[in-house]
């Protein structure tokens, strides 16, 4: 609301008449236990007749100071002088003629002057006082009682602590009277309605109720109630929600100051910790200023492990605030307590910040003064904690959005198990991008690879046969049209075209040449099909055959696509069956231990797994988790074999699948390639693993022409004997459990380019489904691994 500049329009004069009348009634009624003092008081009042008249010169009061003190004791009881902040003022003026010691001390009054720091400017003050005066007039002379109060907050520094305090100033008009200087104007019903509809329009008030007709006499009592806690809660809420002060360095300093005021303790330092996985981000970051919109971008980083056993972790584990009044007398469990003592901190308060039952971090207050933070004053922080929790949650969400934006731009869709590392790199980049740094490389050292593939047996032959069948069918249908048309009209050109089609058919039967899939249909489309519109006039049977031909063509490919579609649908069903099952079991396998998993669908489904200490944020890893995955992979492959055999009879093309696992006991390093946007192995030796993966499906048994991979069997390829020892234990267990049939074939393989000396185990899957565990639950695999003998040379 825009306020028009005004001056207080009413005359106002100090008067003690109502106070004197109050005392006369008090004495006359014999109340207040003043009987023995009654003659003295009456005599003093009789000796001061000028006090019954309006007082324009406050010097008059000095002559009767003793009487004034006595009279004001009814307004301000002496018993509460040191605690109650109250004062008496000339009506609607900041001129005080009496105040309690507490009021004088808090507002540093010297003489009669009172110049408080208010929450409103002088113009707002004048506007509010004028409206208040009019409402009092309306109540007394026009019988209209409007409930209205003007919020007036005064700010003052506590003389003891030097900390700001906030007081709600309330005007008590008990000793205030309104004198009529002229005949009050009568308000019509229309006037009343106008006023009530426009109560903030002072111009209208002055028009209908001229201020010159009234004078305020007496005095107003100002009572100041300490509302510091309420005001600071409101200010903190505004800073955290509206101004988002937690996001800026300067705003963070303001939050600290407000908490100092809230607790009435100057020596307090605020700290916030945000938790992201295994990282702890500490605010504020004091080493450099930044113009970033999110303060978390410049937070210093620690690992949660560094807080283990400290008062911070204790507060989080207990899920309740923890206060230490003197660190000097508190057990130093970690270096953090020692570090705080080295910085001079003696008392500490730590509270967990939760949002929707999720731990976000902690709020910490520290002081160099022992006992400055204690169980009593920190109990008042309970309403503050949810405010910081909501603001911290919003700040973390904003930081996560920035991190995801970097990941999306610089990387690609990231597997959840290793997303923490990409987020870590993105956060480091965000914090240091103003220094011109690039994204750090994402490398995982000493990880163990697991590779497996379920391949479609002779998929290329099946695909070529489908292409061949479709093309022959296409040429035959076109040839049938020409031959039928020739019967109706024996044109020599039709016989010639039929001969050319027949040559193509014979060529296709002999086999496909490169490019036949694309060029053969073009011959028909360009040379033969343009004749069909004319041939349709040769007779109804020819027209019907042409219509049937066109209906048989694939609308997009413009050729016969029946056999290829049957092959592709069969291939797709196998791939979806394998991929869906892998995804379901992989989700369970993540419960063993977080690991990276990726699959690729081509003519079959291959999957790659990496597991190791470097792939988890806390670095905790045990070789048993690797064994878990190896056994899990073998068990899953057994079920894949069973499922692919089970659906074979329902396929349009009865495709068979072969299955292979590549065993490797030596760890390797992988790095994320920004160009290719996927993980690649690092180092010349590690590349051998990738070469084997690409070529192993073509491997044959040494000295034979027999392919290693066979339907219904699983091949386990290895290089070193120690690699296969572990798998022999798994095979023995799975044969006993009904997954595999008895017997194991151990063979050598013909050398592959870049991969020599490979060997393999081949086992046969027992296809009796009733004997197999259909749910590979984590506890089943874990129990199986633990039941196996442990090898002394297990990887670590």
Residue 443 pLDDT: 80
pTM, two decimals, is: 0.53
414 pLDDT tier (thresholds 50, 70, 90) = low
Q: How many whole angstroms separate alpha carbon 197 and alpha carbon 407? A: 59
Q: What is the pLDDT of residues 90-145, one digit of tens each?
A: 998 888 899 999 898 888 876 666 667 787 777 888 888 899 899 999 998 988 88
Model confidence band, residue 791 (pLDDT cutoffs 50, 70, 90): very low
Half-sphere CA count of 371, side-chain side, radius 13 A = 0
- What's the pLDDT score for residue 404? 62
Flag whether pLDDT at 546 surpasses 90: yes
| Mean pLDDT to the nearest integer, 333-346 | 85
Give the containing element (helix H, strand E) for 695. Answer: helix 684-695
Lowest mean pLDDT among 312-321, 359-368, 685-694: 685-694
Confidence of residue 284 (pLDDT cuts 50, 70, 90): low
What's the per-residue H, E or C state across 298-350?
HCEEEEHHHHCCCHHHHHHHHCCCEEECCHHHCCCCCHHHHHHHHCCCCEEEE
Classify residue 213 as exposed, middle or buried by CB count within 10 Å of its CB (0-12, 13-18, 19+).
middle
Which H or E run contains 96? strand 96-99
Lowest average pLDDT, out of 114-128, 156-170, 395-409, goes to: 395-409
Report whether pLDDT(736) > 80: yes
Residue 662: pLDDT band (50, 70, 90) is: very high
Mean pLDDT, the chain, rounded, equals 83
Number of CB atoms found within 10 A of residue 300's CB: 13
Query: Above 80 in pLDDT, residue 36?
Result: no
Least confident of 23-32, 449-458, 751-760: 23-32
Give the pLDDT of residue 388.
87
Work out the angle between the directed axes of helices 228-237 and 249-263 (0-180°, nearest 10).
Answer: 160
Report pLDDT for 796: 33
- CA dihedral (40, 42, 44, 46) positive or negative: negative
Distance of CA 267 to the CA centre of its chain: 33
Judge whether residue 243 has pLDDT over 70. Answer: no
Distances (CA, A) of 609 to 506, 589, 596, 635: 48, 11, 6, 15
Poorest-pLDDT segment among 180-189, 271-280, 532-541? 271-280
Most confident of 161-175, 323-337, 531-545, 781-795: 531-545
- pLDDT at residue 407 in the model: 53
Number of H helices, E strands in the chain: 24, 24
Contact (CB, 8 A) for 695 and 752: yes
Closest CA to 713 of 653, 633, 774, 640: 640
Per residue in 418-431, pLDDT (tens digit) is 666 766 766 666 66
Among 713, 564, 700, residue whose Cα is nearest residue 634:
713
pLDDT at residue number 485: 93
Residue 786: the pLDDT is 61
What would the pLDDT profile of 462-487 be if each residue is shown by its tens digit?
999 999 999 999 999 999 999 999 99
Parallel, antiparallel or unpaired: strands 279-283 and 300-303: antiparallel
Q: What is the pLDDT of residue 302?
A: 62
The whole-number pLDDT of residue 251 equals 75
**Average pLDDT of 322-340?**
85
- Greatest extent of the chain over all pairs of C-alpha atoms, in Å: 151
Please check the confidence at residue 542 and state whether its pLDDT lies above 90.
Answer: yes
| pLDDT tens-digit readout, 54-82 | 998 888 888 888 889 889 988 998 888 88
Q: What percent of the chain has pLDDT over 70?
A: 83
pLDDT at position 678: 63
Q: Which helix (H) or strand (E) holds 448?
A: strand 443-456
Quickly list DSSP for 586-655: HHHHTTTS--EEEEEEESEEEEEEEE-GGGSTT----HHHHHHHHHHHHHHHHHHHHHHHHHHTTSSS--
pLDDT-based confidence at residue 324 (cuts at 50, 70, 90): very high
Judge contact between 614 and 417, C-beta under 8 A.
Answer: no
Q: What phi, psi does 389 have (nearest 5°)?
A: -65, -45
Q: For position 289, what pLDDT does the model report?
A: 42
Tokens of 241: 């929600």
* Alpha-carbon torsion angle 405, 409, 413, 415, nearest 10: -70
Mean pLDDT throughout 516-538?
91
Q: What is the dihedral of CA 373, 379, 384, 389, to 10 degrees?
A: 90
For residues 750-777, average pLDDT: 75
Q: How far apart are CA 14 and CA 56, in angstroms?
A: 7
CA dihedral 583, 585, 586, 590 (to 10 degrees): 140
Q: Is the predicted pLDDT of residue 16 greater than 90, yes or no?
A: yes
Mean pLDDT of 18-31: 85
86 vs 98: CA distance, rounded Å:
9
CA 644 to chain centre: 42
pLDDT bracket for residue 2 (50, 70, 90): very low
DSSP summary character for residue 7: -
- What is the phi-psi region of residue 393: left when phi exceeds 0, alpha when psi lies from -120 to 50, beta otherwise? alpha
Q: What is the pLDDT of residue 573?
A: 94
In this prediction, residues 453-460 reach a mean pLDDT of 91
Q: How far apart are CA 589 and CA 487, in angstroms?
A: 69
Is residue 626 within 8 Å of residue 448, measured between CB atoms? yes
Whether the CB-CB separation of 593 and 448 falls below 8 Å is answered with: no
Cβ neighbour number for residue 476 with a 10 Å cutoff:
13
User: How far is the C-alpha of 631 from the C-alpha of 593, rounded, in Å?
Assistant: 14
Helix/strand/coil for 220: strand
């Amino acid at each position: 609301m825009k306020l028009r500049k005004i001056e207080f329009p009413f005359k106002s004069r100090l008067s003690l008449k109502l106070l004197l009348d109050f005392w006369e009634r008090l004495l006359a009624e014999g109340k207040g236990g003043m009987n023995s003092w009654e003659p003295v008081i009456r005599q003093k009042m009789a000796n001061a007749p000028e006090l019954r008249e309006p007082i324009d010169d406050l010097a008059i009061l000095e002559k009767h100071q003793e009487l004034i003190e006595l009279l004001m004791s009814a307004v301000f009881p002496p018993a509460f002088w040191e605690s109650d902040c109250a004062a008496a003022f000339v009506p609607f003026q900041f001129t005080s003629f009496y105040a309690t010691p507490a009021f004088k001390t808090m507002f540093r009054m010297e003489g009669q002057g009172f110049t408080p720091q208010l929450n409103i400017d002088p113009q707002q003050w004048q506007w509010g006082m004028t409206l208040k005066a009019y409402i009092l007039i309306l109540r007394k002379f026009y019988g209209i009682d409007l409930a209205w109060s003007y919020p007036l907050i005064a700010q003052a520094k506590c003389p003891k602590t030097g900390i700001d305090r906030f007081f709600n100033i309330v005007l008590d008009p008990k000793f205030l009277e309104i004198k009529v200087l002229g005949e009050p104007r009568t308000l019509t019903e229309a006037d009343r309605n106008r006023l009530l509809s426009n109560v903030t329009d002072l111009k209208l008030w002055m028009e209908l109720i001229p201020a010159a007709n009234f004078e305020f006499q007496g005095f107003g009592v100002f009572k100041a109630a300490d509302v510091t806690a309420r005001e600071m809660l409101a200010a903190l809420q505004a800073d955290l929600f509206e101004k988002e002060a937690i996001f800026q360095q300067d705003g963070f300093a303001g939050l600290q100051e407000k908490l100092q005021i809230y607790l009435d303790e100057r020596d307090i330092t605020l700290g916030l910790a945000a938790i992201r996985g295994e990282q702890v981000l500490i605010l504020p970051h004091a080493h450099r200023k930044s113009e970033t919109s999110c303060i978390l971008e410049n937070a210093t980083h620690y690992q949660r492990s560094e807080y283990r056993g400290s008062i911070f972790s204790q507060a989080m584990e207990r899920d309740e605030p923890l206060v230490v009044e003197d660190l000097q007398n508190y057990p130093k469990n970690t270096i953090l307590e020692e570090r705080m003592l080295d910085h001079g901190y003696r008392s500490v308060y730590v509270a967990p910040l939760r949002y929707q039952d999720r731990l976000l971090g902690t709020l910490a207050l520290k002081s160099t003064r022992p006992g400055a933070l204690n169980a009593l004053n920190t109990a008042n922080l309970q309403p503050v904690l949810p405010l910081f929790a909501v603001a911290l949650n919003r700040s973390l969400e904003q930081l996560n959005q920035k991190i995801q934006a970097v990941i999306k731009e610089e990387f690609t869709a990231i597997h959840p198990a290793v997303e923490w590392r990409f987020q870590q790199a993105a956060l480091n980049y965000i914090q240091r991008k103003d220094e011109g740094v690039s994204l750090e490389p994402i490398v995982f050292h000493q990880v163990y690879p697991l590779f497996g593939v379920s391949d479609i047996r002779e998929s290329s032959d099946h695909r070529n046969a489908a292409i061949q069948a479709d093309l022959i069918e296409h040429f035959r249908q076109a040839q049938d049209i020409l031959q039928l048309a020739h019967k109706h009209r024996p044109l020599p050109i039709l016989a010639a075209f039929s001969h050319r089609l027949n040559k193509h058919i014979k060529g296709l039967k002999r086999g496909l040449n490169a490019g036949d899939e694309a060029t053969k249909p073009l011959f028909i489309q360009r040379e033969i099909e343009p004749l069909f519109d004319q041939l349709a006039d040769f007779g109804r049977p020819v027209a019907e055959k042409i219509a049937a031909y066109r209906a048989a063509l694939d609308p997009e490919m413009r050729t016969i696509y029946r056999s290829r579609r049957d092959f592709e649908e069969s291939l797709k069903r196998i791939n979806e069956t394998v991929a869906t099952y892998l995804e379901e079991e992989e989700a369970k396998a993540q419960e063993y231990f977080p690991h990276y998993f990726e699959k690729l669908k081509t003519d079959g489904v291959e999957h790659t797994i990496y597991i190791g200490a470097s792939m988890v944020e806390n670095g905790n890893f045990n070789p048993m988790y690797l064994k878990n995955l190896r056994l899990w992979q073998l068990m899953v492959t057994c079920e894949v074999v069973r499922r692919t055999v089970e659906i074979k009879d329902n396929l349009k093309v009865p495709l068979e699948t072969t299955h292979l696992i590549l065993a490797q006991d030596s760890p390797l390093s992988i790095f994320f390639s920004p160009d290719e946007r996927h993980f690649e192995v690092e180092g010349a030796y590690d590349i051998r693993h990738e070469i084997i993966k690409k070529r192993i499906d073509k491997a044959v048994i040494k000295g034979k022409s027999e392919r290693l991979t066979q339907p219904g069997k699983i091949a386990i390829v290895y290089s070193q004997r120690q690699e296969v020892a572990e798998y022999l234990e798994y095979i023995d267990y799975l044969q006993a459990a009904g997954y595999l049939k008895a017997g194991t074939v151990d063979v050598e393989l013909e050398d592959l380019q870049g991969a020599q000396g490979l060997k393999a185990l081949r086992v046969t899957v027992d296809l009796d489904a009733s004997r197999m565990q259909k749910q590979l639950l984590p506890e089943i695999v874990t129990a199986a691994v633990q039941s196996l003998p442990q090898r002394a040379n297990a990887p670590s």
